[in-house]
Structure 1
Amino acid sequence: MEELREPDRTGECFRAYFHLPGLFEFYDLYQVFLPLFKKHREYFYDWCEIGSIYGAPADCLWGGGRVGGGEHTPEEALALTQEYGISARLTLSNSLLRKEHLTDARCNQLCRVFSKVQSPQSGVIIHSDLLLEYLQEQYPGFYYVSSTTKVLTQFSQLEDELRRDEFQFVVPDFRLNKNFDRLRSLQPRLKDKVEFLCNECCWFGCADRKKCYEAVSRRNLSSIEPEFRCKSPGADEGYRFSRAMKNAGFISVEDIQNRYMPMGFSNFKIEGRGLGSALILEFLLYYLTKPEYQIRVREDIYLDNMLDLF
């Protein structure tokens, strides 16, 4: 393992901000983990922070990432993040919305709840420009994140997206993660907006990624939409963190500390809304927790009688 070091050159970032999955889906896990993160900060890397937790309720019409869930209300999810000073992000990345969908009562109520808070400000992960324009007019309290569901695989596409003033952050397709020459050449203000997807398990050469996301969007709009069956190598095995680590686009802890932060990048997204809470815990251990304290954190989580990991 490459030794971690503190940044020491001009222009480097001194903090990495992780954006974590499962605002609704893994509420119970975060209800246990966040107090631990706050009380025992010595367990965790001093160069990392939790920038946001993202997700959407089950059956969210405007949703377009992996289908959400969870038993907790929007008010409860928002209150948990507010308690710990963490931004809550709504995953409203449906790419197939039409004008008639904008009047959905449940989604509008969700936005009313989350747009009211300003410290920390709530965000929206978004794909549709139609929805973006609507939210900007109706709920001016949000900031916006350009979704990786756009599958921007050309670096010129990423640069164009980064220059859009509407977005505070842009999540590139994971296949641009190691394009270091082009990434290094970005202006500092654009580097600040890049949010890398770290742990994608999808086959690096997949040509159906956009179709997969569109299938999720259609399923959110219609319960009768058949599930998309990916035919990429290894897809039948489901998500495997061990396989993700071998992906050409994988970003390790060492990569973050020794490559991305020295280049001036500070935002990193962890995927996993469709996975179980036990696997999300492994992500939290790997990316945020010092190796010598991982067993302590794991024990504290597993021994909490309020939490049922699956």
Structure 2
Amino acid sequence: MNVVKKKAYYHLPGLFEFYDLYRIFLPLYQEHREYFYDWCEISSIYGAPEGCLWGGGRIGCGDENPQEVLKLINEYGISARLTFSNSMLRKAHLSDRKCNELCALFEQGSEDGNSDNNSVKNGVIVHSELLVDYLKQNYPNLYLVSSTTKVLTDFHEFAEEVKRKEFQYIVPDFRLNKSFDQLNTLTLSGKDKVEFLCNECCWIGCKDRRKCYETVSLQNLDENCPDHRCTAPNAAYGYRFSEAMKNPAFISIGDIQNVYVPMGFTNFKIEGRGLGSAIVLEFLLYYMTKPEYQLQVREAIYLDSMLDLF
């Protein structure tokens, strides 16, 4: 009897921010599947255009036409997610025209795509309970993802979040990544909902993470807020993938294959919306591409394209 192994499903950054990169990468991924590991697939790509009041986590910077973004992602049967994880929303913000128009567009989403892909739904990554209720009432066909910006570091609070029917996925704080004994107490259906943040570079001892997200939320609302500077060691150097790999919470491809998937966890989020296309490409190479084909993928992105991505 053949045992079918579960696959790992990636949730990738930069739906709007790195549209030009994905416009080249996705055809390559489809046409040369032999370049990529057969044990993983792309489940979703997340992001937000610039100027979204509901945005959170990072300041949105993509200015690509949302209809073109959806056209591309629908073509490849991938779910699109809006990162509307602002934690500081008030009732007055719910009437924002741009964010509502995006939700309406994403809700009908795959209806404009190929008929074979109509089963793919789009979603929203959300923090605010006010926004959760609003989206459930006004855009019920969008699935909801509980954002890592909630900073759920207490396992019992996280486990309660997993039980909530409103959310299809829950992203815990990265500091729960290696809490294997506790994670293994989740039911199989609960494990299906957990989406681990793999490549976080934030200091594992950070106590200001929630404050950082609140500051970004206020900035997205274009409100005055005190400048919040990260005090973590080596913060001045910014994101370094080589440093993220040293983080005790880092999830490697070996961890995914040999630890998480056998335990029943299959969803993995790659961060990087606030980084450049070059470093995001390195994530795609590390997490998805067989070593013997990484040069070919780099060449296709850097050389064969006429676009100035970098």
Is the Cα–Cα contact under 8 Å of residues 65 and 149 in structure 1 kept in the other structure? Answer: yes
Give the unaligned 5+ runs of structure 2. 111-117
4+ runs deviating over 3 angstroms: 223-227
SS in 2 for 1:186: coil
SS in 1 for 2:196: strand
Is the Cα–Cα contact under 8 Å of residues 218 and 224 in structure 2 kept in the other structure? Answer: no
Q: Does 1:157 align with 2:149?
A: no
2:270 corresponding residue in structure 1: 270
TM-score, reference length from structure 2: 0.95
Residues 222 and 9 from structure 1, CA distance in 2 versus in 1: closer, same or farther, beyond 3 angstroms?
Answer: farther
1:30 corresponding residue in structure 2: 22
Q: Does 1:81 align with 2:81?
A: no
Residues 13 and 142 from structure 1, CA distance in 2 versus in 1: closer, same or farther, beyond 3 angstroms?
Answer: farther
1:143 corresponding residue in structure 2: 143
Q: Name the amino acid aligned to 1:306.
A: M
Is the Cα–Cα contact under 8 Å of residues 13 and 264 in structure 1 kept in the other structure? Answer: no
SS in 2 for 1:300: helix
- For residues 1-310 of structure 1, what are the structure 2 equivalents within 5 Å? 14-117=6-109, 119=118, 120-222=120-222, 224-225=224-225, 227-310=227-310
Which protein has greater RCO, CA pairs closer than 8 Å, 6+ apart?
1
Q: Cα distance, 1:42 vs. partner?
A: 0.3
Q: Cα distance, 1:307 vs. partner?
A: 2.7
Deviations 1:218-251 (A, max 9, x none): 0001164454310111111100000000001000
* Count of aligned residue pairs for this structure pair: 302
Deviations 1:135-173 (A, max 9, x none): 111111100100000000011011000000000000000
TM-score, reference length from structure 1: 0.95
Residues 27 and 21 from structure 1, CA distance in 2 versus in 1: closer, same or farther, beyond 3 angstroms?
Answer: same
Residues 234 and 9 from structure 1, CA distance in 2 versus in 1: closer, same or farther, beyond 3 angstroms?
Answer: farther
SS in 1 for 2:109: coil
Identity %: 66
Q: Cα distance, 1:176 vs. partner?
A: 0.2
Is the Cα–Cα contact under 8 Å of residues 13 and 266 in structure 1 kept in the other structure? Answer: no
Q: Name the amino acid aligned to 1:32.
A: I
Give the unaligned 5+ runs of structure 1. 1-7
Q: Name the amino acid aligned to 2:196.
A: F
Q: Cα distance, 1:9 vs. partner?
A: 11
1:4 corresponding residue in structure 2: none
Q: Cα distance, 1:101 vs. partner?
A: 0.3
